[in-house]
C-alpha cells in the first residue's frame, strides 16, 4: 500500500496539472482544451495569431486525415503554414478554399490575395486569440448533444463516434490515397511498475478509428511489436509517446481510470 501511495503522489506531482515550481496550472476552459495557437508569421505581419480549435475539426475529420494525408505536424508551429500555402490549396487551404463542401455549403476560404474591407470579418474567424464568446457558445451548443466525460473538454469522443453522433471523415478527394480497411489487432495489457496499480489495457481498435497506423508508427512508437518501445509515466507527462496526443487533444492522462482498467489479481 505504501508503494502504491508513493507512486500515486509521484504520478500526480509530475503530471501536466502542475508546473515545474510545484504550483498547480490553470485548468483550461472546456472550449479551450486542445486549442493550438499558430504564430510563426502572423504577428510579424501585423495580424493576430491563429487560434485553431481541435474540437470543431475533430467532430468532422479523423486525426490521420489532417496529420498524414494533409501533412500537419504534430507539434504546434511545426508546419510553418503561410498564407500563400493556403491560397495554393495546401494545409488549411485543402478544405478552406471556398469549394470544398460541408453540410450542403462550401467551406469558407482561409486566405485570399485580394483583401477587401468585407474580408476582415472572415480573417477574424481564424486570426483571433483570448476569450471568444462566439466560439464558447458554439462549443456549448455542440457539447450539449454529446456524451460527457469528466476531463479534457468534457466530451466523450470515443462514445460519440461509436454511437454515430459524429462520423469523422478519413478520405478527401485530391488529398488522400485509397487504402484497404485495417484489421485491428486484439487488445493487450501493459504491465505497470507500481505495486497495486491496475494494468493498462491498450485498444488498437479504438485508436485506429482516429489515427490509422500512420499517426503512431513509426514517428511516435518505433516498433510495431509489443514491448519494443520502453517508456515511463514521466516521459508520457513530458509529452512523449502517449503524451503526444493525451493532455493536448485527447483526454488528459490525469484520468487514470481510462487506461488503467485491468483488475488487480
For cell 515550481, name the residue: 21
Amino acid 17: pLDDT = 54
List of residues 6+ apart from 53 with CB closer than 8 A? 31, 34, 35, 135, 139
Same fold, 2-23+175-262 and 32-143: yes
Amino acid 14: pLDDT = 45
Amino acid 130: pLDDT = 79
Domain 32-143 has CATH 3.40.50.720: no
C-alpha 4/C-alpha 165 separation (Å) is 39
For cell 482498467, name the residue: 261
Amino acid 181: pLDDT = 79
pLDDT single digits (tens) 156-173: 999 999 999 999 999 999
pLDDT single digits (tens) 13-65: 444 554 545 556 678 899 999 999 999 999 998 999 999 999 999 999 999 99
CA angle 255, 256, 260 (to 5 degrees): 140
The third-level CATH classification (topology) of the domain covering 2-23+175-262 is Cytochrome C3 (3.90.10)
Amino acid 4: pLDDT = 43
Amino acid 11: pLDDT = 46
Q: Which residues of the chain are modeled with pLDDT < 70?
A: 1-25, 264-265
Amino acid 23: pLDDT = 55
Domain extents in the chain: 2-23+175-262, 32-143
Amino acid 265: pLDDT = 61
Amino acid 13: pLDDT = 44
C-alpha 137/C-alpha 133 separation (Å) is 6
Amino acid 158: pLDDT = 95
Amino acid 7: pLDDT = 47
Amino acid at each position: 500500500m505504501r508503494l502504491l501511495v508513493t507512486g500515486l503522489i509521484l504520478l500526480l506531482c509530475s503530471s501536466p496539472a502542475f508546473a515545474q515550481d510545484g504550483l498547480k496550472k490553470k485548468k483550461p476552459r472546456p472550449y479551450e482544451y486542445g486549442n493550438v495557437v499558430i504564430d510563426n508569421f502572423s504577428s510579424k505581419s501585423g495580424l493576430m495569431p491563429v487560434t485553431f480549435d481541435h474540437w470543431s475539426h475533430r467532430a468532422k475529420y479523423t486525426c490521420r486525415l489532417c496529420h498524414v494525408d494533409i501533412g500537419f505536424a504534430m507539434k504546434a508551429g511545426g508546419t510553418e503554414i503561410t498564407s500563400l500555402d493556403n491560397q495554393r490549396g495546401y494545409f488549411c487551404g485543402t478544405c478552406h478554399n471556398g469549394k470544398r463542401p460541408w453540410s450542403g455549403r462550401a467551406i469558407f476560404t482561409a486566405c485570399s490575395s485580394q483583401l477587401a474591407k468585407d474580408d476582415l470579418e472572415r480573417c477574424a474567424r481564424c486570426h483571433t486569440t483570448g476569450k471568444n464568446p462566439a466560439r464558447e457558445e458554439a462549443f456549448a451548443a455542440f457539447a450539449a448533444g454529446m456524451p460527457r466525460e469528466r476531463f479534457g473538454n468534457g466530451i466523450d469522443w470515443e462514445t460519440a463516434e461509436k454511437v454515430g453522433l459524429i462520423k469523422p471523415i478519413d478520405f478527401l478527394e485530391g488529398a488522400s490515397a485509397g487504402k484497404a480497411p485495417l484489421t485491428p489487432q486484439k487488445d493487450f495489457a501493459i504491465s505497470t511498475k507500481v505495486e497495486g496499480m491496475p494494468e493498462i489495457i491498450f485498444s488498437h481498435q479504438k485508436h485506429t478509428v482516429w489515427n490509422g497506423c500512420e499517426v503512431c508508427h513509426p514517428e511516435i512508437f518505433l516498433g510495431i511489436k509489443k514491448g519494443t518501445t520502453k517508456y515511463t509515466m514521466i516521459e508520457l507527462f513530458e509529452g512523449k509517446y502517449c503524451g503526444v496526443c493525451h493532455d493536448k487533444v485527447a483526454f488528459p492522462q490525469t484520468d487514470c481510470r481510462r487506461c488503467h482498467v485491468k483488475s488487480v489479481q
